Amino acid sequence: MEYWTELRTALMVARLGTVSAAAEALGVHRATVNRHVDTLEGVFDAPLFQRNARGYALTDAGRDMLEVAARADEMLADLAARARGKAGQLSGSLIVTALSGVAPLVMPAIRDFHLSHPQIALEFVAGAQLARLEHGEAHVAIRAGAKPEMPDYVVTLFRRLRFGLYASQSYIDRAGHPDPDRLDAHHFIGSVGAPRPVPYAEWMNANVPPETLALRTTDQQVLHSAVCEGLGLGFLAEHDACVRPDLVEVIPPGEAWSTALWVVTHVDLHRTAKVQAFLDHLKSARLEHHGSHSEESN
């Protein structure tokens, strides 16, 4: 591949931020790193880096270069491992991103992947935004809501996330057991009056007067803490509520209050050995979840 050596050098500069660090990592002289960067900038007819006192920062052209070079680097490393017959001995890093509240659903797969491939450096990035997989911000993203329709993304359904209305035993001891048909005398946690991307928002807007909110919040973790502390009733994810014996179902979780969880990968890295291995563990975790629910319903 023409200019691959130069691309790899520029990729190392982008990752490490300085010429000296890139030179040390590659085992070459600083002058070689500068020459490779100059060669690429001549080929692209655009600067890839802005030089400043703290090191090298990427330009727009540099970010485009990083996007392509990073994916190519991972694919070539994967190809080399397969050619050596070491596809089962995975290496490098794997970055998974999801909402922090989804972590309990993903953690069994992360645990099993780590036990099978302890040499892989694992990172979990918690956040609400869909990582830019094409820029190498993550290898696997798990997102809730509508199916992502980004080009070059491979999207599969992981499972559905169900919510129910819960109260803590301490709240019930103080305010009485809520009757699902007569909740007007009770206090709630959450928000009303504005559209929100949660499956229970419509029910809250229709049934909860603003004055009955003991605590206004749109953060699911804050809501969970407030319900557990007995401030009022609130909608919690089924997997979060089931591990708290002090929580009482007021209205059970159902499909009407559920949202899809999607597994998202980039097409260029989807077939790499480590991504496929992690996806296999996610699939096993999903099947175990469905199996346990089937047993509970029998």
CATH of the domain at 207: 3.40.190.10
Residue at which a domain ends, from 83, 115, 140: 83
78 class by beta-carbon count within 10 Å (0-12 exposed, 13-18 middle, 19+ buried): buried
Q: Which tokens hold the place of 9? A: 């050098």
Residue 248 shares a structural domain with residue 175? yes
The encoded tokens of residue 39 equal 């060669």
| 72 to 65, 69, 115: CA distances (angstroms) | 11, 5, 27
Bridge partners for 157 per DSSP: 262
Q: Both 185 and 144 in a single domain? A: no
**Distance between CA 228 and CA 20 in Å, rounded?**
52
Q: Are residues 238 and 171 in the same domain?
A: yes
In a domain, 88, yes or no: no
Secondary structure of 133-152 in HEC code, one letter for each residue: HHHCCCCEEEEECCCCCCCC
145 and 269 belong to one structural domain: yes
Residue 115 CA neighbour count, 13 Å, CB half: 7
The reply to whether 234 falls in a domain is yes
The answer on 243 and 225 residing in a single domain is yes
| Nearest CA-CA partner of 7 in 29, 39, 30 | 39
- Contact yes or no for 207/137 (Cβ under 8 A): no
Q: What is the pLDDT, as a whole number, of residue 206?
A: 92
CB-CB contact of 65 with 48 (8 Å): yes
Nearest alpha carbon to residue 90 among 285, 279, 264: 279
- Coil, helix or strand at residue 1: coil
pLDDT computed for residue 82 by the predictor: 57
Nearest-angstrom CA–CA distance, 156 and 161: 15
Residue 38 lies in a domain: yes
**Statement to judge: residues 266 and 119 lie in one domain:** yes
- In which domain, by residue range, is 31 found? 4-83
CA dist 167 and 180 (Å) reads 12
- Angstrom distance (rounded) from CA 166 to CA 218: 16
28 with 10, same domain: the answer is yes
Which of 54, 83, 112 terminates a domain? The answer is 83
Ranges of the chain whose pLDDT falls below 50: 87-88, 294-298
Within a domain: 277: yes
Instruction: Quote the pLDDT of residue 294.
Output: 45
- Same domain, yes or no, for 145 and 179? no
* Residue 199 and residue 180 share a domain: yes
Using DSSP's 3-state secondary structure scheme, residue 215 falls into strand
Length of the chain: 298
Shared-domain flag, residues 66 and 141 = no
CB 140 within 8 A of CB 195: no
Q: Which residues of 86-97 are buried (b: 16+ CB within 10 A; e: fewer)?
A: ebeebebebbbb
Number of domains, the chain: 3
The answer on 243 and 165 residing in a single domain is: yes
Residue 243, classed as helix, strand or coil, is: coil
Q: Does 172 share its domain with 240?
A: yes
Q: Which of these three, 22, 50, 83, is where a domain ends?
A: 83
Supply the angle between the helices 19-26 and 30-44 in degrees, to the nearest 10.
110
CATH code assigned at 75: 1.10.10.10
